[in-house]
């Protein structure tokens, strides 16, 4: 099940992650290693992004990230998988 989700996300990464991050103003954060996993605090890079969560913050949307660690994916699924 995780595998399936990961594949889907990887498909997004290949095409849209850069565009997405530029839209939210977080692309520089990725380059500067300022994006961290919301669960474990690991620095997020293109290679270890597990889940991307768009968060609506008033007028702006920003992205939160979970790394690809099984524990973090499990935590995300526990909190959000219903």
Q: Tell me which residues touch Zn ion (CB under 5 A).
A: 37, 39-40, 42, 67, 69, 72
Q: Which C-beta is closer to Zn ion: that of 22 or that of 45?
A: 45
CB of 40 to Zn ion, least distance (A): 3
CB of 59 to Zn ion, least distance (A): 29
CB of 58 to Zn ion, least distance (A): 26
Q: Which C-beta is closer to Zn ion: that of 26 or that of 42?
A: 42
Q: Which C-beta is closer to Zn ion: that of 35 or that of 72?
A: 72
The C-alpha atoms of residue 62 and residue 70 are separated, in whole angstroms, by 24
Map tokens 């979970």 to a residue.
Answer: 66
Q: Take residue 52 and report the two structure tokens written for it.
A: 């991307």
The C-alpha atoms of residue 21 and residue 74 are separated, in whole angstroms, by 24
CA–CA distances in Å: residue 36 to residues 1, 4, 59, 82: 24, 23, 23, 25
């Amino acid at each position: 099940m995780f595998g399936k989700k990961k594949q889907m996300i990887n498909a997004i990464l290949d095409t849209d992650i850069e565009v997405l991050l530029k839209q939210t103003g977080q692309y520089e954060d990725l380059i500067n290693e300022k994006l961290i996993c919301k669960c474990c605090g690991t620095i997020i890079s293109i290679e270890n992004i597990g889940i991307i969560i768009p968060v609506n913050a008033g007028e702006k949307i920003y992205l939160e990230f979970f790394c690809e660690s099984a524990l973090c994916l499990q935590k995300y699924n526990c909190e959000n998988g219903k």
